[in-house]
Amino acid sequence: MTMQPLRRTTFGLLGAVAITALGALPAAAQAPAAGGASILDAIKARGTLVCGVNTGLAGFAQPDSQGVWRGFDVEYCRAISAAIFGDPNKVRYVPTTAQSRFTALQSGEVDVLARNTTWTLSRDTSLGLDFGGVNFYDGQGFMVKTSTGVKTAKELNGATICVQPGTTTEQNLTDWARANNVQFTPVVIERLEELVSAYASGRCDAYTTDVSGLAATRSSQPNPAEHTILPDVISKEPLGPLLRHGDQRFADLVRWVHYALVAAEEFGITQANVAQMAANDTRPEVQRMLGKNGGLGQMLGVPNEWAVNVIRATGNYGEIFARHLQPIGIQRGPNALWTTPGGQQYAMPFR
Amino acid sequence: MSDIPLNTSVAGVPEAAPRQPPALTTGPIAWFRANLFSSWLNTAVTLVLAYFIVRYAISFVDWAFINAIWSVDNNQTQACRALKNSATPGACWAVITEKHRFILFGTYPYEEHWRPALVCLLFTALYVVSAMRRFWRWELAVVWAVTLTAIGILMWGGVFGLSYVPQERWGGLPITLILATFGLAFAFPLAILVALGRRSSMPAIRVLCIAYVELIRGVPLISLLFMASVMFPLFLPEGLNIDKLLRAQVAVILFAGAYLAEVVRGGLQALPKGQYEAAEALGLSYWQKTGFIILPQALRLVIPPLVNTFIGFFKDTSLVLIIGIFDLLTAGKTAIVEPAWQGFGVEVYIAISVIYFIYCFAMSRYSQNLEAELNRHRNR
């Protein structure tokens, strides 16, 4: 132990040098992924799930006035905890920033990252990470003042558009404009608050970012009805929980917790009626999912009544959505069940 | 020449009563005339500035106090939003009423908030006690050790019936005070050693100290924090995790140490060579010379730049927001993420700046007094 401070000092000094050699990061990043230790067993032994969340994003993860984490992503942490322990509160939330999130996962500081992260090929492969399904289909859209009468994005030809710099948002906008022969003048502002006030004060005709972000901004305006989110979505941003390579069983569990939430909505199982459904429902798939027969839980390495515990703790996918995202004005849209037109949330069969 | 007695009235004129000097040459009126209205240009500038100052002071008082809303029920902020967009805008202090405990203590368990509150009081009491010269005895080190241990026990818990609170739930003012206090308490001795090392005649030590100072000063604090939080964990075996706050704390100590070392070196170089030679002539060893002769004089010389660096670091601790630690400023920013409270940043930032101002201004005033007192011998 006495070696620790010395090593830290040395690394601090080395690090100052190494910061110029950041190219080495991906190579270093892959190193911890090699271990084959079971993450699920480690979680069970520890007695808590460590969940990386956003430091604060309306609707997805934010501490309330009493410091309790709430939001759509937070419910996924609670659901996984409920599946493993039967108790949704055995979670430690670690706030992570956009820069620190992947390291936190790679180094084992967190077990799972429920932090609105877009599923892309490079993240899935070179970072040594795995995605546990898509729990929210997001995409870049536009918001305009209702009074302008603009109905589709292509009518924005010649408009002034507010956009944040340095993100894929700016690139998506340029790509889309070129592909669709739309001329526009960008107003590029770094800070979100200033960007929104530039839009609100009329400096830009339209404001572009992910649809979930647009909805959150719209709901915080004095009169949300004065603003319209256009139906066009110009990029794909599938968000989902993120895991590190090394324990496929834990990845399976995270994936099937999501499917259980979606399937529960499909079967009409809610937080209120889950106990009754588990006892009385006669549909074979419901019986298998809720652990009455089939032993699906054991295959996942958790108690057979895992799905009952999850739904009792958080409700089904639709209930979670209604609790956290509908109040800030996000419509189901592509996140509706596959049984409704335009919906893409689809659970794999429980058998 | 005939002598005229001084106290006789001339030519029957009755003796004049002693008069006040003309009001236009002394007193506040004269001061105003000389400094604010001495020429038409000065007068014009004074009047224009006075107009703006009065006008903005009035609208600030209107905004901050008269039109302000102090509390709302149940997160219903419509009244605040209406007020913000009305012709007579006012502050929505309701955001502070609702969120003050989150801003001060972050995600610390709500029912245990008395613990971080006590920690803040202990820190402040520790500063006050350390500031009084009559307590400057060796026992003060014991007081520090005991207080810091008590602070650790209060924050972590897990003993004496206190529930255990993991570090990632700490937040707000205690984080700022912990980072600043531990940072400076460890950086200062480090800085003295490095400053002495830089002036050492032993080449290995001198080169090491120079390399340390120049490396740390050559990179921004943010990059050190990134190193500590993003790259350092990748060098460790999987599963071995050093506490995030501790990593940030070490980065802050290393950074503060390098800057303070240069300040201390400035003091060492300002001492006349005669002092060193006189100490050596007395046959004092190196450490006796340094401890009794050199450092007491050198540190006294550099009080203003030292305090300048201290104040700077107290505020620099807010940079830990980029690695996801909720210090006072980050907690304030997070408090206004909730949709109902979005858009009330000004009120939250004002409240936070008041807290920062209290600590920084106290430091600055105290250093002025200390400087005057310790340098009294120069003002004979």
* Cβ pair A52, A115 in contact under 8 A: yes
- Tell me, what's the pLDDT at B214? 92
Q: What whole-number distance in Å separates Cα of residue B95 and Cα of residue B114?
A: 21
Spatial CB neighbours of B216, under 8 Å, sequence gap ≥ 6: A16, B224, B254, B255, B257, B258, B259
Lookup: tokens for A205: 């005709």
Chain mean position to CA B93:
25
Lookup: tokens for A224: 């949300």
- Tell me, what's the pLDDT at A260? 94
* Closest chain A CA to residue B242: A109
Question: How far apart are the CA of B305 and the nearest CA of chain A, in angstroms?
Answer: 25
pLDDT at A123 over 90: no
DSSP state of A302: S
- Tell me, what's the pLDDT at B30? 82
Report the alpha-carbon angle A188-A190-A192, nearest 5.
Answer: 105
* Cβ pair A311, A263 in contact under 8 A: no
Q: What whole-number distance in Å separates Cα of residue B173 and Cα of residue A171?
A: 39
- Tell me, what's the pLDDT at A25? 38
Q: What whole-number distance in Å separates Cα of residue A207 and Cα of residue A205?
A: 7
* Cβ pair A288, A306 in contact under 8 A: no
Q: Which of B105, B232, B236 sits opposite A15 (nearest CB)?
A: B232
* Closest chain B CA to residue A194: B343
- Tell me, what's the pLDDT at B9? 55
In our burial notation (b when 16+ CB lie closer than 10 A, e otherwise), range B321-340 reads bbbbbbbbbbbbbbbbbbbb
Lookup: tokens for B13: 């004129």
Question: How far apart are the CA of A282 and the nearest CA of chain B, in angstroms?
Answer: 42
Higher pLDDT, A187 or A3: A187
Rg (chain A; Cα; Å): 22
Q: What is the dihedral of CA A253, A259, A264, A267, to 10 degrees?
A: -130
Give residue A10's pLDDT band: very low, low, confident or very high (50, 70, 90).
very low
- Tell me, what's the pLDDT at B238? 64
In sign, the C-alpha dihedral spanning B39, B40, B45, B47 is: positive
Number of A/B CB contacts below 8 angstroms equals 159
Q: What whole-number distance in Å separates Cα of residue A241 and Cα of residue A221?
A: 30
Amino acid at B194: V
Enclosing H/E stretch for A243: strand A237-244
In sign, the C-alpha dihedral spanning A70, A73, A79, A84 is: negative
pLDDT tens for residues A260-315?
999 999 999 999 999 998 888 889 999 999 988 888 999 999 999 999 999 999 99
* Cβ pair B221, B187 in contact under 8 A: no
Helices B345-374 & B328-335, crossing angle to 10 degrees? 160
pLDDT tens for residues B190-232?
999 999 999 888 999 999 999 999 999 999 988 888 888 878 8
Higher pLDDT, A212 or A345: A345
pLDDT tens for residues B105-148?
988 888 888 999 999 999 999 988 888 888 888 888 888 889 99
Q: Do B238 and A193 touch (CB under 8 A)?
A: no
Chain B contact set for A66 (CB, 8 A): 101-102, 110
Higher pLDDT, B12 or A50: A50
Spatial CB neighbours of A336, under 8 Å, sequence gap ≥ 6: A342, A343, A344, A345
Chain mean position to CA B349:
17
pLDDT at A200 over 70: yes
Question: How far apart are the CA of A157 and the nearest CA of chain B, in angstroms?
Answer: 31
- ipTM of predicted complex: 0.78
Phi then psi for residue A186, to 5 deg, are -80, 140
DSSP strand pairing (A112-118 vs A49-54): parallel
Q: What whole-number distance in Å separates Cα of residue A343 and Cα of residue A346?
A: 8
**B31 CB neighbour count, 10 Å cutoff:** 10
Q: Which of B228, B238, B337 sits opposite A35 (nearest CB)?
A: B238
Token look-up 């404009």 returns A177
Higher pLDDT, A217 or A316: A316
pLDDT at B155 over 70: yes
* Cβ pair A128, A106 in contact under 8 A: yes
pLDDT at B51 over 90: yes
Q: Which of A28-42, A69-83, A235-249, B97-111 has the highest mean pLDDT?
A: A69-83
Interface of A with B in 290-349 (CB under 8 A): 327-328
- Tell me, what's the pLDDT at B336? 83
pLDDT tens for residues B236-270?
776 677 788 888 899 999 999 999 999 999 999 99
Enclosing H/E stretch for A317: helix A317-324
Amino acid at B237: P
DSSP state of A240: E
- State the average pLDDT for chain B: 85
Q: What whole-number distance in Å separates Cα of residue B347 and Cα of residue B354?
A: 11
* Closest chain A CA to residue B103: A65
pLDDT at A21 over 50: no
Q: What whole-number distance in Å separates Cα of residue A280 and Cα of residue A96?
A: 43
pLDDT at A122 over 80: yes
Across the range B324-343, mean pLDDT stands at: 84
Q: What whole-number distance in Å separates Cα of residue A305 and Cα of residue A297?
A: 7
Q: What whole-number distance in Å separates Cα of residue A326 and Cα of residue B369?
A: 58
Q: Do A220 and B231 touch (CB under 8 A)?
A: no
Chain A contact set for B250 (CB, 8 A): 5, 8-9, 12
Give, in order, the Cα–Cα distances in Å from A179 to each of A174, A209, B205: 9, 18, 63
Domain formed by B111-379, architecture:
Orthogonal Bundle (1.10)
pLDDT at B78 over 80: no
Enclosing H/E stretch for B237: none
Q: What whole-number distance in Å separates Cα of residue A288 and Cα of residue A286?
A: 5
Q: Do B324 and A8 touch (CB under 8 A)?
A: no
Amino acid at A50: V
Give residue A251's pLDDT band: very low, low, confident or very high (50, 70, 90).
very high
State in words which class domain A39-137+240-334 has: alpha beta
B239: closest CA among A32, A49, A103?
A: A32
pLDDT at A2 over 90: no
Lookup: tokens for A297: 């839980």
Q: A138-236 — its CATH code?
A: 3.40.190.10
Across the range A134-144, mean pLDDT stands at: 91
Q: Do B226 and A99 touch (CB under 8 A)?
A: yes
- Tell me, what's the pLDDT at B257? 92
Across the range A176-194, mean pLDDT stands at: 86
Lowest mean pLDDT among A106-110, A319-323, B86-90, B348-352: B86-90
Give residue B53's pLDDT band: very low, low, confident or very high (50, 70, 90).
very high
Q: Do B101 and A92 touch (CB under 8 A)?
A: no
pLDDT at A39 over 50: yes
Indicate the domain borders of chain A. Answer: 39-137+240-334, 138-236
Interface of A with B in 163-202 (CB under 8 A): 193
